[in-house]
Chains A and B, each alone.
Chain A
Amino acid sequence: MSGPSESLQRVIYASRATAGGELKVSEILETARRNNAALGVTGALLVSGPYFAQVLEGPPAAVEEIFERIQCDPRHERITVLEVAHPPARAFGAWTMAFAEEREDVSGPTLLDPAAAWGLLDRLQAALTNTAASQRLPG
């Protein structure tokens, strides 16, 4: 692989908390902060009722390693990859894992629709400026 944009990879996926499982978002964020910082990965997590959408960005190998760990996490299921891209710059460079919450009726299950990738980045960034500034995690 060559070229400056190839050295940055972004993946966006959506998933759903496993039915009947116990999942604490605060724990996930804590783990994410620790692991992502060590590998130079940044991103954002959107929670909408039981649904998640997450953006991970960083060096390709690091993003793939973190993504693989998340894949194997039994706390969520029905994982759908919405986008894999090589953007010129990070969208969430200031956050190891920014966090935003929406009421389920805002998006919910539509997150799992591949069409949701379109506009999701903007929505996440907007949601962050509105609700999550205070939850900004030290990088």
Chain B
Amino acid sequence: MTYAAKLSPAATDAGEPLGPIDETTGLLRREAFLGALDRRARQEEKRPFALLAIDLDRFKAVNDSLGHPIGDALLRAVGRRLRSCIRAGDLAGRLGGDEFAILLPDQGREEDAEALAARLVDLLSRPFLLEGHSAVIGASVGIAIFPEDADDADRLMRAADLALYAAKEQGRGLVRRYAPEMRARMEERRRLEADLRAAIGLGQFELHFQPQVSIAGGALTGFEALLRWRHPERGLVPPAAFVPLAEEIGLIVPIGEWVLRTACREATTWPEALHVAVNVAAPQFAQRDLFDVVAAALADSGLPAHRLELEVTETSLLHDTTRAIETCQRLRTLGVRISLDDFGTGYSSLTQLRDFPLDRVKIDRSFIAEIGTRGDSAAIVRAVTALGAALGLRTTAEGVETPEQLAELLAYGCSEAQGYLVSRPVPRDQVQEMIARLAQGQETAA
């Protein structure tokens, strides 16, 4: 039975044909749905009605892992569940791969639209049994109401999409009604994205360097290179404000390569005993050629491999563990050192410390901050330091801010420290000065 067959004749506009049905789901095809939406929005009286934009969560994962035939069976079942939720006169359409929409031509009340949306989210999050496999997906829904949110079909569809986007951004499985600030936020995001894409070419990225010192003697051992974005109007944009977006749109790979090359080049101007630590993001790890990129950055800059340290996060290692281990091993045969960043914030498996080819563990700043105030944090720092030493790894404490913290870390046997107590990250033109200052401190301390 197709959806069209279920419609009461009175529901179609003056008996106009509703148009083609999507074979897989039994729902209206995109053009047919948008046509019906357009006709409804053009009716003489501006009687309110609701539009729901629906997106499946995790559909792609099911499709990828169980294959297309099961993906299609899932779409068929989703189509059936959607149709079972709506009343005669309502229209349901498939707008794209796993995007759907529902038009409620006679329902303009937010509560009614929300009740339907909640029912859809509930129903689509229940398991599916498909050709011997069970699959669990979910759905997010955005709601827009005519004419309050927009008074033509195009803009109403966009309003519903913006609300859907907000629902997905806030955590999936949610329902959101359109609000004008969503448009503003989306426009800002689009501007940020465009600016970010242009930033490498315009030379707006710069590296700042934060010193890492030996806790026992206070000697400078190297610098961590930290990415900064200096935008003519936005000023100095903090990484948290653009790195997640860069990861999402795939820009982190070229940006990461720029960081690597620039940091290696910069380090060649420092005394030979100093290393440079460079962060590697998960998507860079997922790229097959990370090894080649690193090797090329070393060759082009002339930096000896042992002076480069790559800081990787637990998540990037976990994604494809076998390959990550292999890449790290190859890099280490070159002489590059590998350090595990932010230890303690992710999965923090102790087996990882044993199994991954590592040279160093960096203990997350949150534990260091609590050394003096929370006994359990101090215990964790002590344990990680001891474990690191037993496994032959160096340990670096991140975010060290007070002399008391430093004294504790010394007592635990932690090897290096980094944080405001030593120095904030400084721009490249202050690095030489910093090297001199820390060398002098060394002399006066000695």
Stretch at the interface among B125-133, B214-222, B291-299, B303-311: B125-133
Contacting B at CB under 8 A, from A77-112, are: 77, 79-81, 84, 86
Interchain CB contact under 8 A, B81 and A86: no
Give residues of chain B (123-143) contacting chain A, Cβ–Cβ below 8 Å. Answer: 123, 126-134, 136
State whether the Cβ of A49 lies closer than 8 Å to any Cβ in chain B. Answer: no
Q: Does A50 have its Cβ within 8 Å of any Cβ on chain B? A: no
Q: Choose from A60, A71, A86 the contact partner of B126 (Cβ within 8 Å).
A: A71
Given known contacts A68-B77, A72-B84, A81-B134, A11 and B129 CB-to-CB distance under 8 angstroms: yes
- Among B77, B80, B132, residue most surrounded by chain A Cβ atoms (within 10 Å): B132
Instruction: Determine the distance from Cα of A9 to Cα of B130 in the docked complex, in whole angstroms.
Output: 12
Flag if A64 contacts B127 (CB, 8 Å): no
Does A55 sit within 8 A of B, measured CB to CB?
Answer: no
Whether A46 is near chain B, meaning CB under 8 Å from some CB there, is no
Closest residue on chain A to residue B136 by CB atoms: A81
A48 to B81, CA, bound (A): 28
CB of B122 within 8 Å of the partner chain: yes
B185 to chain A, nearest CB (A): 33
B132 engages A68 (CB within 8 Å) = no
For B122, the chain A residues whose CB sits under 8 A away are 77
Residues in B with CB closer than 8 Å to A63 are 129
A residues contacting the other copy or chain, number (CB 8 A): 17
CB pair B126 A72 closer than 8 Å: yes
- Which of A9, A67, A68, A80: most chain B CB closer than 10 A? A68
| A52 interface residue per 8 A CB criterion | no
Interface of B is mostly: mixed
Asked if B123 contacts A68 (CB within 8 A), the reply is no
B134 and A84 contact, CB distance less than 8 A:
yes
Bound complex: CA A12 to CA B257 (Å): 50
Q: Can you name 21 A-B residue pairings with CB atoms under 8 Å?
A: A1-B132, A11-B129, A63-B129, A64-B130, A67-B129, A68-B77, A68-B80, A68-B128, A68-B129, A71-B126, A71-B127, A71-B129, A72-B81, A77-B122, A79-B127, A80-B127, A81-B127, A81-B134, A84-B132, A84-B133, A86-B132
Query: B72: shortest Cβ distance to chain A, in Å?
Result: 14
Asked if A51 is at the interface (CB within 8 A of a chain B CB), the reply is no
Residue of B at shortest CB range from A77?
B122
In the complex, the 3 A-B pairs of residues with the closest C-beta atoms, listed nearest first: A81-B134, A67-B129, A71-B126
Cβ of B379 to closest chain A Cβ, rounded Å: 32
A81 and B123 in contact (CB under 8 A), knowing A11-B134, A68-B77, A72-B81? Answer: no
Q: In the bound complex, how far is the Cα of B122 from the Cα of A88, in angstroms?
A: 35
**Extra pairs beyond A11-B134, A64-B130 (8, CB < 8 Å):** A13-B127, A64-B131, A68-B80, A68-B128, A71-B129, A72-B126, A79-B126, A84-B134
**Which A1-47 residues sit within 8 Å CB-CB of chain B?**
1, 9, 11, 13
B residues neighboring A (CB under 8 Å): 77, 80-81, 84, 122-123, 126-134, 136
* A28 to B377 CA separation, bound complex (whole angstroms): 54
Whether A84 contacts B123 in the complex (CB less than 8 A), given A11-B134, A72-B81, comes out as no
A68 to B129 alpha-carbon distance, docked (Å): 7
Complex-state Cα separation, A52 to B6, whole angstroms: 34
Cβ contact within 8 Å between B129 and A72 = no
Please, which residues of chain B bring their CB within 8 A of the CB of A81?
Answer: 127, 129, 134, 136
Contacts of B134 in A (CB 8 A): 11, 81, 84
Contacts of A9 in B (CB 8 A): 132
Contacts of A68 in B (CB 8 A): 77, 80, 128-129
> In the complex, how many angstroms separate the beta carbon of A7 from the nearest chain B beta carbon?
11
Q: Which residue of A lies closest to B135 (CB)?
A: A81
Give the docked Cα–Cα distance between A71 and B123 (Å): 8
Q: Once the chains bind, are B77 and A60 in contact (CB under 8 Å)?
A: no
Residue on A nearest B84 in the bound complex, by CB:
A72
Minimum CB distance partner of A65 in chain B: B129
Minimum Cβ distance to chain A for residue B347 (Å) = 21
- Out of B123, B130, B131, name the residue touching A72 (CB < 8 Å): B123
Q: Please encode chain A, from 106 to 137, with 1 for each CB lying within 8 Å of some chain B CB and 0 for all others.
A: 00000000000000000000000000000000
Check if B81 sits within 8 Å of A60, measured CB to CB: no
How many Å lie between the Cα of A60 and that of B131 in the bound state?
7
Cα distance A71–B136 in the bound complex, in angstroms: 12
Closest chain B CB from A39 CB (angstroms): 14
**Assembled-state Cα–Cα distance A39/B84 (Å):** 22
CB distance from B132 to the nearest CB of A (A): 6
| Cα–Cα distance between A68 and B265 once the two chains are bound (Å) | 61
Asked if B132 contacts A60 (CB within 8 A), the reply is yes
Cα–Cα, bound, A68→B136 (Å): 13
The winner among B84, B127, B131, B136 for most chain A CB atoms within 10 A is B127
